[in-house]
């Protein structure tokens, strides 16, 4: 095959949709497609999906790519939603529905993990543990679905299950059953560098055999089997890269390269990532994980971004065009606030019991005013995560003083100023929403020409796995910024943010478990 005609396929297995992107030998996107699906919630607090829906979505999405582009694919890389888990048998066949990161059924299991508040120099706190991570979910499985637990051979991350499916069970010995450090370190069962913590795994009563050996994200990990190739319209035998979590893939695809580079991604949830060549310090409410390229990143992970806006839009019975139009035509209310914490929250609060909704509504508030408050509330939640990364104090107490307001709104006073962020993700394409985000965050946003950052990052990993690129060559392929959004000073907006933080502190006790 002519090297100049090479193509690389990236598959991004998301929470609400699967995206595919084909990039060429210069790293430029040639084609992209997606297919949506819905989560299943068979009981309150559960979040599951039949893995065959992922497979069907992949077949559908690949079928929407030009056949000529698919025929040139030399390698496939994988990006996947993090934290969830797929219990499988020895051949990689799922034994039950996948359990996913929004799931909160395992809240009672969190007490089994080390104290996240412990911060001695000799033993810094671990990454935050959420009920939707693989560790708590597997602990729940051993207690409540014993037969499934006994039959389980592998506990795979979502994208690893998909890679095994593409490799076929006959390829198991060829290295398809692996995990990569960027995904493993987010399971609550591994050290921050991704190495499995087998002492913790044993203490939790989980079988060590469930956890696949580690391989670098760009390692060749099997090849595409003939059956999958026919279903997807791809050449059989192409290399499969191990892949990485969706956030590190988005970092790679977005072209972050220097220490301190920052990225905001918005989708179902939201992530703010700051890259580092060394392990970031451990801080409560923040994550520090391995990147797809072997470095590190610190991250604030907010669960309620697109999912909260979608809920608000549905409650108000308006389509997205109407939601944007009415929200940004309305003057913001100085009394109305929206807490977006509809599924608990991770960064910076570590509060799975948090809940949300509108407070302070009046009879004169229109649908547009309510939707505007929803957009602001989501932006404020993202700002709280960014302030945690900056090192600025957060006050979720009953009162906020004038000095506290200054600390919440003064970027220059932060311990680690972050004044520029790259912006990516399908939830940030509207120019009015981008401007509100810049104003609330107090940071310049460089929107990049990369609508499918995670899928692009996955495709680049495929190119490294088959030998087309070296990892250190990828920085030169960084996408260009399409527009730059400068923040505007808005004292009233800053006051509403301070009130939002205070309001969360006041209402959180309503939902805390009662003794």
Domain coverage including residue 367:
306-418+487-511
In the prediction, which pLDDT does 407 show? 40
- Report if residue 156 sits inside a domain: no
Q: CA-based angle 355:338:99, to the nearest 5?
A: 40
Q: Which residues, other chains included, contact 64 with Cβ-Cβ below 8 Å and sequence gap of 6+?
A: 33, 35
Average model confidence (pLDDT) for the chain? 88
Residues in the chain: 515
Question: Domain tally for the chain?
Answer: 1
285 vs 118, 336, 360, CA distance in Å?
12, 27, 28
348 cis-preceded (ω within 30 degrees of 0): yes
- Report if residue 161 sits inside a domain: no
- Statement: residue 412 has pLDDT above 50: no
Task: Give me the mean pLDDT over the 11-27 stretch.
Answer: 95
- Report if residue 371 sits inside a domain: yes
The values of phi and psi at residue 207, to 5°, are: -70, 130
Would you place residue 294 in the very low, low, confident or very high pLDDT band (cuts 50, 70, 90)?
A: confident
- Statement: residue 172 has pLDDT above 60: no
Report how far residue 28's alpha carbon sits from residue 459's, in angstroms, rounded to the nearest whole number: 10
- Report if residue 359 sits inside a domain: yes
In the prediction, which pLDDT does 427 show? 66
- Statement: residue 117 has pLDDT above 50: no
In the prediction, which pLDDT does 269 show? 84
DSSP state of 377: H
Report how far residue 432's alpha carbon sits from residue 315's, in angstroms, rounded to the nearest whole number: 22
| DSSP line for 259-297 | TT-EEEEESSSEEEEEEESSPPPP-TT-EEEE-TTS-EE
What token pair was written down for 65?
């790519």
- Report if residue 325 sits inside a domain: yes
- Statement: residue 128 has pLDDT above 90: no
Task: Give me the mean pLDDT over the 262-289 stretch.
Answer: 87
Give the per-residue SS3 of 175-202: CCCCECHHHHCCCCCECCCCCECHHHHH
Task: Give me the mean pLDDT over the 436-453 stretch.
Answer: 90
0.95 exceeded by the pTM? Answer: no
In the prediction, which pLDDT does 408 show? 42
- Report if residue 406 sits inside a domain: yes
- Report if residue 470 sits inside a domain: no
Provide, rounded to the nearest whole percent, the portion of the chain with pLDDT above 90: 66
- Report if residue 394 sits inside a domain: yes
For residues 259 and 416, the answer to whether their CB atoms sit within 8 Å is: no
In the prediction, which pLDDT does 277 show? 87
- Statement: residue 265 has pLDDT above 80: yes
Strand partners, 34: 19
pLDDT tens by residue, 338-383:
999 998 888 898 888 889 999 999 999 999 999 999 999 999 999 9
| DSSP line for 105-128 | TTGGGGGGSPPTT---SSS-----
DSSP state of 427: G
For residues 190 and 196, the answer to whether their CB atoms sit within 8 Å is: yes
Neighbours of 416 (CB within 10 A): 11
**CATH code for the domain of 312:** 3.30.420.40
């Amino acid at each position: 095959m002519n090297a100049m005609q090479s193509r690389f396929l990236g598959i991004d297995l998301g929470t609400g949709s699967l995206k595919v992107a084909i990039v060429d030998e210069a790293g430029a996107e040639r084609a992209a497609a997606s297919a949506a699906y819905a989560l299943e919630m068979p009981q309150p607090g559960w979040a599951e999906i039949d893995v065959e829906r992922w497979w069907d979505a992949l077949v559908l999405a690949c079928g929407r790519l030009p056949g000529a582009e698919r025929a040139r694919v030399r390698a496939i890389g994988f990006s996947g939603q993090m934290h969830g888990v797929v219990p499988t048998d020895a051949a990689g066949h799922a034994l039950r529905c996948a359990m996913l990161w929004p799931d909160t059924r395992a809240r009672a299991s969190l007490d089994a993990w080390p104290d996240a508040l412990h911060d001695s120099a000799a033993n810094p706190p671990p990454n935050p543990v959420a009920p939707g991570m693989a560790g708590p979910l597997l602990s729940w499985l051993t207690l409540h679905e014993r037969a499934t637990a006994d039959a389980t051979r592998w506990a795979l991350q979502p994208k690893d299950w998909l890679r095994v499916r593409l490799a076929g069970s006959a390829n198991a010995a060829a290295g398809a059953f692996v995990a990569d450090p960027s995904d493993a370190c987010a399971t609550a069962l591994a050290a921050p560098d991704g190495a499995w913590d087998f002492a913790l795994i044993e203490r939790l009563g989980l079988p060590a055999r469930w956890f696949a050996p580690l391989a670098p994200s760009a390692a060749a990990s099997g090849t595409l089997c003939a059956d999958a190739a026919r279903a997807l319209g791809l050449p059989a035998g192409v290399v499969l890269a191990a892949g990485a979590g969706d956030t590190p893939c988005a970092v790679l695809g977005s072209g972050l390269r220097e220490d301190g580079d920052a990225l905001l991604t918005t989708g179902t949830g939201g992530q703010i990532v700051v890259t580092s060549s060394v392990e970031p310090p451990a801080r409560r409410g923040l994550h520090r994980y391995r990147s797809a390229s072997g470095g590190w990143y610190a991250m604030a992970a907010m669960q309620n971004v697109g999912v909260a806006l979608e809920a608000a839009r549905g409650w108000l019975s308006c389509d997205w065009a109407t939601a944007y139009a009415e929200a940004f035509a309305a003057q913001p209310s100085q009394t109305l606030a929206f807490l977006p914490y509809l599924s608990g929250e991770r960064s910076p609060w570590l509060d799975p019991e948090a809940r949300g909704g509108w407070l302070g509504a009046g009879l004169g508030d229109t649908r547009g005013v309510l939707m505007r408050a929803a957009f602001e509330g989501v932006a404020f939640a993202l700002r709280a995560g960014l302030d945690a990364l900056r090192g600025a104090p957060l006050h979720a107490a009953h009162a906020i003083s004038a000095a506290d307001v200054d600390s919440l709104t003064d970027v220059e006073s932060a311990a680690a100023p972050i004044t520029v962020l790259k912006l990516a993700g399908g939830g940030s394409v509207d120019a009015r929403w981008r401007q509100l985000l810049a104003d609330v965050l107090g940071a310049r946003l460089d929107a990049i020409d990369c609508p499918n950052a995670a899928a692009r990052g996955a495709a680049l990993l495929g190119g490294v796995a088959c030998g087309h690129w070296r990892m250190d060559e990828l920085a030169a392929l960084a996408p260009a910024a399409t527009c730059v959004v400068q923040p505007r000073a808005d004292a009233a907006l800053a006051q509403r943010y301070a009130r939002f933080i205070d309001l969360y502190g006041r209402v959180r006790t309503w939902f805390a478990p009662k003794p």
